[in-house]
């Protein structure tokens, strides 16, 4: 009981009570509380990292596209590998791995 009597003046202080209520509202109850702001900040940093990775991928695709449109040897290599195209006098052997089926 003695310990409680020490804190009674603090509990009667209207400024302390109002600040406590305000901080409780701001940190816990509101939609934009501190916890959601921290989570949103972490999500934003993840999205920025993803954006950088996608920008690098776009640059690589642009380089490959430019090379395919300007270099005939690269275009021929791409057509042979992707669409299994061949020249008229050429024979192509395709090896199928039986274990992959």
**Residues 6+ away with beta carbon under 8 Å from 33:** 26, 27
Dihedral (C-alpha) 3, 5, 8, 10: value to the nearest 10 degrees? -50
Q: Do residues 68 and 78 touch, judged by C-beta distance below 8 A?
A: yes
CA-based end-to-end distance of the chain:
79
Q: Which tens digits make up the pLDDT trace of 37-83? A: 899 999 999 999 999 999 999 999 999 999 989 998 888 888 888 88
Instruction: Give pTM, 2 decimals.
Output: 0.54
pLDDT at position 6 is: 78
For the cut 80, the answer to whether the pLDDT of residue 2 exceeds it is no
């Amino acid at each position: 009981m003695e310990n409680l009597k020490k804190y009674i003046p603090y509990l009667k202080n209207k400024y302390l009570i109002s600040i406590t209520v305000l901080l409780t509202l701001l940190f816990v109850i509101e939609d934009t509380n501190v916890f959601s702001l921290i989570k949103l900040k972490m999500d934003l940093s993840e999205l920025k990292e993803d954006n950088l990775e996608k920008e690098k991928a776009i640059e690589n695709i642009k380089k490959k596209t430019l090379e395919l449109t300007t270099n005939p040897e690269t275009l021929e290599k791409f057509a042979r590998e992707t669409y299994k195209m061949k020249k008229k006098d050429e024979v192509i052997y395709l090896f199928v791995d039986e274990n992959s089926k």
